[in-house]
A and B are shown apart, each in its own frame.
Chain A
Amino acid sequence: MKAVCWWGKGEVRVLDVPDPKILNPHDAIVKVSLTAICGSDLHLYDGYVPTMMRGDILGHEFMGEVVETGPEVKNLRVGDRVIVPFPIGCGRCWFCQHDLWAACDNTNPNAWMIEALTGFSTAGIYGYSHLYGGYAGGQAQYVRVPFADANPLVVPKELPDEKLLFLTDILPTGYMAAENCDIKPGDVVAVWGCGPVGLFAIASAWMLGAGRVIAIDRFKERLRLAQTIQKTEILDYSDEDVFDQLKDMTGGRGPDACIDAVGMEAHGTFIDAMMDRVKQAIKLQFDRAHVLRQVLHSCRKGGVVSIPGVYAGFIDKFPFGTAFGKGLTLKMGQTHVQKYSRMLLQRIQNGEIDPSFLITHRVTLNEAPEMYRAFRDKEDECIKVVMKPF
């Protein structure tokens, strides 16, 4: 089959690889009908995430048709059309049973690696380095889906792929970010980063009853999408002082909730974490967790800071005194997709949200190398790339 493979920093290749096989009794094989490049794939592309190996198949946003099931798979049938959540849950451990799917105990075969780094292991993730289990990803024609009883959600035939695909990651991620804000009627919600997750966080904040939503970014096309499609107020952080602006816009009160949908992209990962240590030792100063600091600074007293943006390392000059002084609540983490996918499917069916609005590029797997580059360099107003493997 054809698959998009990681081939070193800044290089992906489309290669012919063997078809996946059933390896465990709860596995299924899914024939992929649509897959996407996620912003977090760019961290792999840019070589920030350790334990990637040349030839690893990328991709954790994919959907398709079940073509084979293992002997223990009871609730899926060949021919079912499914979306597959990006974190792999077992459905049986304490964490899965408490809807903390991304914290699953049992699905990472390399749990010891991540345990060595962070103290605890979390769920395996498709196509996201050997730290997260080394599972072959979904930017391919076929994928092996482990624990198929627990994860895929069967979706109705009448809705098009483009409306459903983002149930695998970014729509629930945006939704969980907004839900974490504990929005009360009339609340002002400020969202940093108007990429796919930020845009879905905005849409979800509206769904959850926000009174005003303020979108903050520096890319004009993203702000335009937020303003025109999501009807937000906008702030360009490259030419305005965001903190003062937000204060002015809220009568000196500050937003009730702030969402950091930017994350470490600018900040870096393990290398930067190490650089932080080095720079502490040799008294160099960098200032890279810029957005998170601004978010903590801007949020109103007693407000909520919600962080769907990915962080992996250490942060220097984290304004903990500010967070303490204002009595902020901080909520964060990988998305428990399985907790939200059914409810969000319902909302899509009801016409409350059409997630396909942010797709800017529709291509085949063959164009993956070029699309990774365009997405990273934000060329051609690239916001979201979807790929058809057949």
Chain B
Amino acid sequence: MEHAAITHQEKNVNDPERWVSVIAGSALAAYGLKMRSIPGIVLAALGGSLVWRGATGHCMVYEAMGITSVADDGRQVSVPYGHGVRVEKSVTINAPTENVYAFWRNLENLPRFMHNLEKVEVYDTKRSHWWAKGPAGTTADWEAEIINEIPHELIGWRSIEGSKVDNAGSVHFTRLPDGRGTEVKVVLRYDPPAGVLGATVSKILGEDPAANVQEDLRRLKMLLETGEIATTEGQPSGRK
């Protein structure tokens, strides 16, 4: 799955690796400091640099070696590298293709699993209005139209011309053999305009649009397979 973000020129460590760096680095630093010895200090320093590498996504060793673990396949897609964002993610859902398609086709269902989407209002079979959460309590909204539709296979949409937020997307449904359910693949593309609005779009999709889409698909799967989205929010703990 690829995506090419326009930002983070310095970022050369991918996100899973960054995360591992932070955890392992913290553990190592704590362990090293506890040793209260020269080797301990060396370990702690190594731990610290791992945390820094994780937090910033920039590894000096990688830089020196001229390598990166960040995916960079954006050059092959229609929105040119450096000018847009393309996200492609998929999930397998243990449900009949007809059901999955029907759920998505009712666009007003989308905010139930798309984290940053607040509301979708359907005007007619083609046109709809979308509201999304932006940073610091702001919202962004745009009108979209369905431009391609093959029942139980494909839905494609894009923001209508003159829309404040220029974006397009498609979702593909594939019936899997032998009771394996339905594969859902989402392709999102947007070409952020310059200035504030562009920044807003980036914020809506987050620092890591691919990860956000993945999480949205995970929630879709939970919803369609179990009827609810797993949570622990609101449970007790010994924290005040």
Q: Judge whether B234 and A21 touch: CB under 8 Å.
A: yes
Query: Which residue, B94, B222, B226, B233, has most C-beta atoms of chain A within 10 A?
Result: B226
Q: Judge whether B239 and A53 touch: CB under 8 Å.
A: yes
Q: Known A53-B239, A278-B28; judge A94-B92 contact (CB<8 A).
A: yes
**Distance in angstroms between the alpha carbons of A133 and B235 in the assembled complex:** 12
| A203 contact set on B, CB distance < 8 A | none
Q: Judge whether A56 and B227 touch: CB under 8 Å.
A: no
| B26 contact set on A, CB distance < 8 A | 50
Q: Known A21-B234, A72-B227, A271-B31; judge A97-B94 contact (CB<8 A).
A: yes
Q: Known A116-B16, A147-B226, A274-B24; judge A57-B231 contact (CB<8 A).
A: no
**Distance in angstroms between the alpha carbons of A111 and B94 in the assembled complex:** 18
Number of interface residues of A (CB under 8 A): 56
Query: Nearest residue in A to B16 (C-beta to C-beta)?
Result: A116
List which B43-101 residues lie within 8 A (CB) of chain A.
43, 46, 92, 94
**Shortest CB distance B230–A (Å):** 5
**Distance in angstroms between the alpha carbons of A15 and B218 in the assembled complex:** 35
* Per-position 1/0 for B162-194, Cβ under 8 A of A: 000000000000000000110000000000000
Question: With contacts defined as CB atoms under 8 Å apart, how many contacts are there between chain A and chain B in the complex?
Answer: 122
- Is A25 at the interface (CB under 8 A from chain B)? yes
Q: Judge whether B236 and A112 touch: CB under 8 Å.
A: no
**Shortest CB distance B165–A (Å):** 26
Query: Nearest residue in B to A94 (C-beta to C-beta)?
Result: B94
**23 contacts across the A-B interface (CB closer than 8 A):** A26-B226, A50-B23, A50-B26, A53-B237, A90-B226, A92-B94, A93-B225, A107-B230, A109-B230, A109-B232, A112-B211, A112-B218, A116-B19, A116-B20, A124-B230, A136-B232, A136-B236, A136-B237, A270-B23, A274-B27, A274-B28, A278-B43, A278-B46
- Is A18 at the interface (CB under 8 A from chain B)? yes
| A369 contact set on B, CB distance < 8 A | none
| B214 contact set on A, CB distance < 8 A | 112
List which B1-47 residues lie within 8 A (CB) of chain A.
15-16, 19-20, 23-24, 26-28, 31, 43, 46
Q: Judge whether B27 and A50 touch: CB under 8 Å.
A: yes
**Distance in angstroms between the alpha carbons of A273 and B214 in the assembled complex:** 28
Q: Judge whether B230 and A133 touch: CB under 8 Å.
A: yes
Question: Residues on A close to B: CB < 8 A?
Answer: 1, 3, 5, 7, 13, 15, 17-21, 23-26, 50-51, 53-57, 72, 90-94, 97, 105-109, 111-113, 115-117, 124, 133-136, 140, 144, 146-147, 270-271, 273-275, 277-278
**Distance in angstroms between the alpha carbons of A125 and B94 in the assembled complex:** 22
The 8 Å CB contact of A20, one of B27, B221, B236, is B236
Query: Nearest residue in A to B32 (C-beta to C-beta)?
Result: A278
Q: Judge whether B227 and A5 touch: CB under 8 Å.
A: no
Q: Judge whether B28 and A109 touch: CB under 8 Å.
A: no
**Shortest CB distance B11–A (Å):** 16
**Distance in angstroms between the alpha carbons of A252 and B21 in the assembled complex:** 47
Q: Known A7-B238, A26-B226; judge A134-B221 contact (CB<8 A).
A: no
**Shortest CB distance A201–B (Å):** 31
- Is B121 at the interface (CB under 8 A from chain A)? no
Interface size class of B (residues with CB under 8 A): 35 or more
Query: Nearest residue in B to A5 (C-beta to C-beta)?
Result: B238
- Is B228 at the interface (CB under 8 A from chain A)? yes
| A271 contact set on B, CB distance < 8 A | 27-28, 31
Q: Judge whether A57 and B222 touch: CB under 8 Å.
A: no
Q: Chain B contact residues: over half helix, strand or loop, or mixed?
A: helix
Q: Known A116-B15, A271-B31; judge A24-B46 contact (CB<8 A).
A: no
Query: Which residue, A3, A51, A90, has most C-beta atoms of chain B within 10 A?
Result: A90
- Is B108 at the interface (CB under 8 A from chain A)? no
Q: Judge whether A106 and B232 touch: CB under 8 Å.
A: no
Q: Judge whether A54 and B238 touch: CB under 8 Å.
A: yes
Q: Known A24-B231, A133-B230, A271-B31; judge A3-B236 contact (CB<8 A).
A: yes
- Interface contacts beyond A55-B237, A92-B94, A134-B232: sample of 13 additional A-B pairs, CB < 8 Å, sorted by A: A17-B238, A24-B229, A25-B227, A26-B228, A57-B237, A105-B221, A111-B218, A112-B214, A116-B20, A117-B16, A271-B27, A277-B24, A278-B46
| A92 contact set on B, CB distance < 8 A | 94, 225-226
- Is B215 at the interface (CB under 8 A from chain A)? yes
Query: Nearest residue in A to B50 (C-beta to C-beta)?
Result: A274
Query: Nearest residue in B to A150 (C-beta to C-beta)?
Result: B226
Nearest 6 Cβ contacts at the A-B interface: A5-B238, A55-B238, A55-B239, A274-B24, A116-B16, A15-B238
**Shortest CB distance B207–A (Å):** 14
Query: Nearest residue in A to B181 (C-beta to C-beta)?
Result: A94
Query: Nearest residue in B to A7 (C-beta to C-beta)?
Result: B238
| A277 contact set on B, CB distance < 8 A | 24
The 8 Å CB contact of A19, one of B20, B180, B215, B236, is B236
| B229 contact set on A, CB distance < 8 A | 24
Q: Judge whether A17 and B230 touch: CB under 8 Å.
A: no
| B15 contact set on A, CB distance < 8 A | 116
Q: Known A19-B236, A55-B237; judge A108-B230 contact (CB<8 A).
A: yes
| B222 contact set on A, CB distance < 8 A | 90, 106
| A26 contact set on B, CB distance < 8 A | 226-228
**Shortest CB distance B81–A (Å):** 25
**Shortest CB distance B68–A (Å):** 18
Query: Nearest residue in B to A108 (C-beta to C-beta)?
Result: B230
Query: Which residue, A93, A113, A277, has most C-beta atoms of chain B within 10 A?
Result: A93
Q: Judge whether B237 and A56 touch: CB under 8 Å.
A: yes
